[in-house]
Amino acid sequence: MNILNIAWKGIKTDFRDTRTLFFMLAFPVVLMLVLGSALSNTFGNSLPVDDIHVLYQDTSHSDNFNQFIDAAEKSGIHFQKVTETINPQNEVKQSKYDGYVEVTQQGLQLYVNNGNSIEGSILQGMLTSYVDKYNIASEIMKVAPEKLESAFTHKQKDDFIKETSVLPNKQPGSMDYYAIVITTMIVLYGAMSSSSLIISERVRKTADRLIASPVRKSEIFIGKVLGSLVSNTICVLLVILFSKLFFKANWGNHLGMVILVLLTEIIFAVSMGIGLSFLTKTSAAPRIIIMLFVQLASFFGGAYFKIDNPQGIFKFITELSPLTWVNSAITKMIFANDLSAAIPAVTIHLTGALIFLLVAVISLQKREGL
């Protein structure tokens, strides 16, 4: 009963603290909104291309290219015939048009502006296909003209090559990504509040009164740890619920497993805060250390920007961040249904938590008071 009373008192104290509510609730929500909206274009799988405008001059005296123009118009490629008042190459250089095509009896020439590489590549690909098909038709006309129509109208077999994508089609959008990484980052911030669980009693001179009361030190310790765990868990669940309802973030079909992984991170963060409070001599030192650790872990763990395929020493540094492992685990569970990805993250969290708790317990036993 003493443990529950101490835990309940800690929960009420946490939610009465405006700084706790800001860091654990308002701060992650605002950060998700800002980063998720500002960097939404960096998470798109497709690149939008506007309509392409092309100048052309046809001296081939053939109707083939006109048929190609009619077909290209349906795909957003608009052709305009060159007049005497237009210098087509200058128009392309000045980016007024995306390309210029010269069609003669000897062949076809394409001029593009290097500044419009995407549009130029599209034009080059389409015109190459047109030329290849025209050359095939010319060769058929020489050998067997009667088979020309059947060669281009017959249904072609297109399953000679089967493609398998290495990366799954289902990828997180900007809001999905930042809902995950900001939530895991804010869990680490919970270490700051837990670092003051015992120190606050010393600062307020209430530690001696607690020791003099008919409550064992172990009950005080367990009650404070339990209260901090519950407070942080409630805040994280509220952040997940808010991001899911208002930002439409995708938390997948295994929300229970995701919450379990986050719970182990909460245990790690609370244990780290308490452990550092016993390792340091001043009341301000744990907060400084935790703030520095969280910022470095967030930077190298992908909380502020997405890190894709790091190499060399940078990869080694990113793997030192616990956020790298938990973010990777949650992303794989949500978007690849890979529940086994949770094992490394859970192992790291619980191992780290055990080390910090052992430090705190051993230090507490050596002390006469708290």
pLDDT at position 51: 81
Ranges 65-79, 185-199, 256-270, 279-293: which has the least confidence: 65-79
Q: What angle do CA 23, 27, 30 make, to 5 degrees?
A: 170
User: pLDDT digits over 269-302, tens only?
Assistant: 999 999 999 888 788 899 999 999 999 999 999 9
Residue 84 has pLDDT above 70, yes or no: yes
pTM higher than 0.75 for the full model?
no
CA distance 224 to 211: 14
Residue 332 has pLDDT above 80, yes or no: yes
Question: Where are the extended beta strands (E) located within the chain?
Answer: 52-58, 77-81, 99-103, 108-112
Residue 109 has pLDDT above 60, yes or no: yes
User: pLDDT digits over 131-173, tens only?
Assistant: 777 677 666 666 666 655 555 455 555 554 555 544 445 678 8
Ranges 37-51, 92-106, 291-305: which has the least confidence: 37-51
* Matching residue, tokens 């939404």: 40
Who wins on pLDDT, 356 or 56? Answer: 356
Instruction: Determine the 3-state secondary structure of 168 from DSSP.
Output: coil
Residue 307 has pLDDT above 50, yes or no: yes
User: pLDDT digits over 249-266, tens only?
Assistant: 999 999 999 999 999 999
Domains annotated on the chain, with CATH: 2-40+173-366 (no CATH), 52-153 (3.40.190.10)
Q: What is the mean pLDDT of the chain?
A: 83
Q: Which two tokens stand for residue 7?
A: 């835990």
Q: Which two tokens stand for residue 98?
A: 């995306």
pLDDT at position 193: 87
Handedness of CA 342, 346, 349, 352 (dihedral sign): negative
pLDDT at position 165: 45
With bands split at pLDDT 50, 70 and 90, how would you rate the model's confidence at 205?
Answer: confident
pLDDT at position 137: 67
Q: Within a 10 A sphere around the Cβ of 175, how many other Cβ atoms?
A: 21
Average pLDDT over residues 349-360: 95
Q: Terminal CA-to-CA distance of the chain, rounded, Å?
A: 20
pLDDT at position 166: 43
pLDDT at position 201: 77
Average pLDDT over residues 201-221: 78
pLDDT at position 2: 84
